Structure 1
């Protein structure tokens, strides 16, 4: 009896367990049916061959945007020096001074010479009445002497013909008459000249002499100004070549300076990369100054050479960076210029990482969408390297222009009707 009772209990428990399993299977089957018919929203994307952008970076060296070696245009002893290496200067600031005494004297001498030449020219252009009156009186006196000499000459000529006077007295009377006659003629010509003024060629010569003196005076003023050496632009003094009281020679360097408000970075680009370079693009470049850390500075293309270096076969490009007070970029520092985007077509498809639902080694699975049936099918693909912007390359298993599920891929099943978000369709 006890054995029959025990077997009855076992059979009853088994029956209850079987009923429980059957109910669970029905529930799961009902749940699966609901999942298949559910219009789950998903995002999709049309795939295409990838276009990869490579960002190239080139090393370079910093230099000043402006450099100058300063010298005097005249020679002389230096009497004042106002700067030393490392000093900041402004455009027009006096840096050195030379002894200017000789140049001042030269300027003053030429000013007096100009005044004398102006007076001579004025006297040639105008006649003074008192001078004319003096000339007229002198002519009158000379005519009186000439008339007396003429009478004496006639008388002695008559006596000489009669052999009543010696020949030497006759010759003396004739010479006196000729001298006074020539004197009167010269004075009359001088009087006519005084009344008419100087000849045109004489006036031109006098004017040319005055003009030449004026030019010499301007040169002297420039030389006087050149005794002071001034800064041609804002910058920093980098070197001084002589000291106070030393003799400065015209054209010989005395100071050097540079401008660091804007610096230049010169790089060399290989000819294979230069073929992809666009000279029309002036901005959008970044410069990292290596000794100053990883911070990037905005740079712009200033100039470039259209011919390659015959030895290195590289092209030289110069970029400029505008410094502010917080920056301390100095010549000679090493730098890196970036921002050279080079587009390259890749013979593979790149898909978002969110579309891959599982991976094993280089194999992966994703959902390929049938846009007509609004259903997705699971497909095995071969994975490649990671790509830009959170994507991965697909080497095999997917064709160009197919549609894939990019969002919600892990929650869908085979044969499920999907609700595509139209605003998210790409391609």
Structure 2
């Protein structure tokens, strides 16, 4: 009996011992002093020029599609082809739609004739008002059917809504096409624009700065490094991206300077002017993602008792082996710069010789 009792209690004793061992290990980790490299945050730097990656796109662009289904009979286009407004993009087999249209016209003509006879008969009271109303409703209904059949027939022909270039052809000729299925992508490469994502502080520029033209916008393409292109703001989003917390801004190119620029090309956009932003620069190894996922980026901040605490920061752009800190740090703050993934909250540390951030 005693032996059976011991066998029942044994798993619980092992589990309890494991929990005590884990708690002891966590306590030892928290209380163990770990030597760390650290840096002291210096005065923030005023940035008068910011650089953002951008992607070129056509101002006018559309995926062309038929509004009705059918089999392709004509597709006189190819990728890279320059076309003019109202040029033929494609045409479906029209036989079924033509037959439906002819039938709708015949029904309307019969209904129209019945209605015209009824107008004469109603005056002589040879038919009731109810029968007359039915004939008039039938005439109106068949008239609407004619318009629908005519539109469906016209929709079997797809034309270019503006002049441009066929950027992509999605289907081949003589294939069955569903309504609203993309046939080709049309782009107007004469007017190009660059899309960039910018941080919040650039979006809150006041009206006085706007009037005085505080920002100078220029673009440099990777394959044309010695040429700069002046830009203007075409439009901008007023709602931040949910993941990056940045705002989409669309910039127009004032002069292509004779270069062949195409959608999809990448560029560096430089925004400069007096409306600068003060940022702190810290080693990139000091910043890491929040393990709990509650905050985007954090650092280990060292308090006066040489204990570390996770502290949220807002990061900017990479500058070599350093990264911009837009908010979250103050001058003379001490932060850990190496081994950030081996520390725990409130752990005491031993400070190795400090380095001063520029």
TM-score (norm 1): 0.49
Taking the aligned partners of 1:124 and 1:243, their CA distance within structure 2 comes to 52
1:66 matched to which residue of 2?
60
Q: Which residue of 2 aligns with 1:364?
A: none
Contact 2:171 2:183 in 1 (8 A): yes
The CA distance in 2 between the partners of 1:324 and 1:232, in whole Å, is: 24
CA distance in 1, matches of 2:247, 2:229: 23
User: How far apart, in 2, do the equivalents of 1:79 and 1:55 lie?
Assistant: 55
CA distance in 1, matches of 2:76, 2:258: 27
Aligned counterparts of 1:285 and 1:234: Cα–Cα separation in 2: 29
Matched, 1:301 2:233: yes
The answer to whether structure 1 residue 196 and structure 2 residue 125 are counterparts is yes
Distance (Å, rounded) in 1 between the aligned partners of 2:158 and 2:232:
34
In the other structure, the counterpart of 2:87 is: 93
The answer to whether structure 1 residue 77 and structure 2 residue 6 are counterparts is: no
- Structure with a larger share of its residues in strand: 2
Residue aligning to 1:118: 112
Match for residue 178 of structure 1?
Answer: none
Give structure 1 stretches of 5+ with no counterpart: 1-51, 128-192, 346-427
Residue 307 and residue 227 in structure 1: after superposition, are their counterparts in 2 closer, same or farther (change >3 A)?
Answer: closer
Task: Pick the structure with more helix per residue.
Answer: 1
The count of corresponding residues between Structure 1 and Structure 2 is 230
Q: Distance in 2 between matches of 1:267 and 1:194?
A: 72
**Corresponding position: 1:338 with 2:270:** yes
Query: 1:212 aligns to what?
Result: 141
Match of 1:249 in 2: 178
Q: Tell me by how many angstroms 1:74 deviates.
A: 1.5
Displacement, 1:195?
3.8
State the secondary structure of the residue aligned to 2:58: strand
Mapped partners of 2:241, 2:222: distance in 1: 26
Aligned to 2:194: 265
Deviation at 1:269, TM superposition (A): 2.2
In structure 2, the residue corresponding to 1:224 is in which secondary structure?
Answer: helix
Q: Distance in 1 between matches of 2:133 and 2:77?
A: 50
5+ residue gaps, structure 2: 1-45, 278-358
Q: CA deviation at 1:212?
A: 0.6
In structure 2, C-alpha distance between the alignment counterparts of 1:285 and 1:105, rounded to whole Å: 58
Shift of 1:327: 2.5
Q: Is the 8 A contact 2:230 2:255 kept in 1?
A: no
TM-superposed deviation, 1:253: 1.8
CA root-mean-square deviation: 2.9
| Distance across 2 between alignment mates of 1:264 and 1:248 | 32
Q: Distance in 2 between matches of 1:224 and 1:272?
A: 53
1:240 matched residue in structure 2: 169
1:314 is aligned to 2:243 = no
Decide whether the 8 Å contact of 2:232 with 2:254 is kept in 1.
no
Bigger Rg, which one:
1
CA distance in 2, matches of 1:243, 1:252: 12
Once the two structures are superposed, residues 189-210 of structure 1 have per-residue CA deviations (whole angstroms, 9 ceiling, x without a partner) of: xxxx894232222211111100
> Does the 8 Å CA contact 1:263/1:322 hold for their aligned counterparts?
no
Q: Tell whether the 8 Å contact from 1:269 to 1:315 is kept in structure 2 after alignment.
A: yes
User: Residues 198 and 87 of structure 1: is their aligned pair in 2 closer, same or farther, counting only changes over 3 Å?
Assistant: same
